[in-house]
Amino acid sequence: MRDPVKVLVLGTGQMGSGIVRLLGRKRGLALVGVHGRRTDRAGLDVGTAIGLESPLGLPIRSDLERLCDEVRPDVAIQATCSRAADAESELAVLLERGVNAITIAEEMAWPAAQSPDVAARLDALARTRGATLLGTGVNPGFVLDLLVLVLTAVCADVASITATRTNDLSPYGPTVLTAQGVGLSPDAFRRGVEDGSVFGHLGFRESIAMIAAVLGWEVERIDETRRPIVARVRRETPFVTVEPGQVAGCEHEAIAHVAGRTAITLVHPQQVHPELEGVATGDRIEIDGTPPVRMSGSPEIPGGLATVALAVNAIPRVLAAAPGLMSIADLPPPAAILGDARQTRDPLRRPDHG
């Protein structure tokens, strides 16, 4: 059988660490290098740095170009940032060298939505070098867009779509909590929304652009609202204490209008400890169409675990894809890798028991 697929990971935070751990459990995939942006961590053993039981014998590197040239990865997974503009330079280093790239940067799920110039530059570079670039992740990229699109496949027609993801922010740290305004007074929350420091969910623009482009809808306008979720009881996490009357999270909603009517409504209420006030977390997709389709699950698909899995599970699809910038809707859908990741799918394969 061919050599294992050589995988490079960019990022040593929670997502990058999770990806490194998962790669170690997959047959046919070999971690060949880890890049971290922080130069003060360069040289630390990856295993030690991310808390594995034993060292991995691979140092964290901060010289991406040299690392790439030395280890010549087949594919790299970027887990360093959220914005397309921030993701571009690392992705360009990879693509220039013909390295296929998967990124979990939220805006890269459909970069043309907010950074069309970045999207066009990276697409051109990828095509020139024969590499594929994919943005993936749980949201944007899965629950509020890919899963919605897959469910519309059974519809002769669709009037409107509503998708809601209600989750629990309790496991998250200060960066996420600040972005959702957790712990603020309702007034400070409103000021934060105005000045942009409370921005809620990153990804509605990408999800809406993906859904609309694939279905063939022309979006006329997107209205976004960010409402404070005000606690009625005390809610406490290791990073924040929310007293009654303070903000426990942000109910962020985006509505896309098509042909003068509401076509896509995405709702993402994020808060710490929703269960303390009887709020169940979960994912729900409702398609008002012919036939109507409703699917839901509770609790929600956990974002961190899911994003790590999606990034790794996408590897075989990216390796098999045509060059250029792809969205998750452009490829055969990823699925869990439970056998050898190098195994190519063969629709002629006879069942083993047959």
Q: Identify residues 10-29 at the interface with its own copies (CB under 8 A).
A: 22, 25
Q: Which is nearer to its own copies, 246 or 307 (CB)?
A: 307
Concatenated DSSP letters for 321-349?
Answer: SPSEEE-GGGSPPP----SBTTPPP-TTP
Sole binder of its own copies in the list 46, 91, 113, 198 (CB under 8 A): 113
**Nearest alpha carbon to residue 118 among 139, 147, 91:** 91
Q: Which is nearer to its own copies, 38 or 294 (CB)?
A: 294
Residues in 265-304 that interact with its own copies by CB under 8 A = 283, 289-291, 293-298, 301-302
> Which span sits near its own copies by CB under 8 A: 36-44, 113-121, 170-178, 233-241?
113-121
Q: HSE (CB half, 13 Å, CA atoms) of 139?
A: 24
Residue spans of alpha helices (H) in the chain: 14-23, 46-49, 64-71, 84-96, 116-129, 146-152, 174-179, 186-195, 204-215, 303-313, 315-320
User: Alpha-carbon distance 336 to 333, whole Å?
Assistant: 10
Under rule CB under 8 A, residue 261 binds its own copies: no
Sole binder of its own copies in the list 24, 55, 128, 154 (CB under 8 A): 154
Q: How far is the CB of 22 from its own copies (least distance, A)?
A: 5
Structure-token pair, residue 151? 């469910």
Q: How far is the CB of 41 from its own copies (least distance, A)?
A: 25
Q: How far is the CB of 150 from its own copies (least distance, A)?
A: 5
Sole binder of its own copies in the list 51, 57, 238, 351 (CB under 8 A): 351
CA angle at 210 for the pair 150 and 226, rounded to the nearest 5°: 105
Under rule CB under 8 A, residue 209 binds its own copies: yes
Sole binder of its own copies in the list 61, 201, 205, 235 (CB under 8 A): 205
Sole binder of its own copies in the list 51, 57, 238, 353 (CB under 8 A): 353
Sole binder of its own copies in the list 308, 315, 318, 323 (CB under 8 A): 308
> Which span sits near its own copies by CB under 8 A: 2-10, 145-153, 171-179, 239-247?
145-153
> Which span sits near its own copies by CB under 8 A: 5-13, 50-58, 83-91, 211-219?
211-219
Q: How far is the CB of 223 from its own copies (least distance, A)?
A: 11
CA angle at 303 for the pair 53 and 56, rounded to the nearest 5°: 20
Under rule CB under 8 A, residue 146 binds its own copies: yes
Q: How far is the CB of 116 from its own copies (least distance, A)?
A: 5
User: Alpha-carbon distance 283 to 263, whole Å?
Assistant: 19
Do 312 and 22 meet the contact criterion of CB atoms below 8 Å apart?
Answer: yes
**Nearest alpha carbon to residue 343 among 323, 316, 322, 321:** 316
Return the amino acid letter for 285. I
> Which span sits near its own copies by CB under 8 A: 167-175, 178-186, 243-251, 325-333?
325-333
User: Alpha-carbon distance 8 to 3, whole Å?
Assistant: 15
Sole binder of its own copies in the list 156, 238, 260, 278 (CB under 8 A): 156
DSSP structure class, residue 318: H
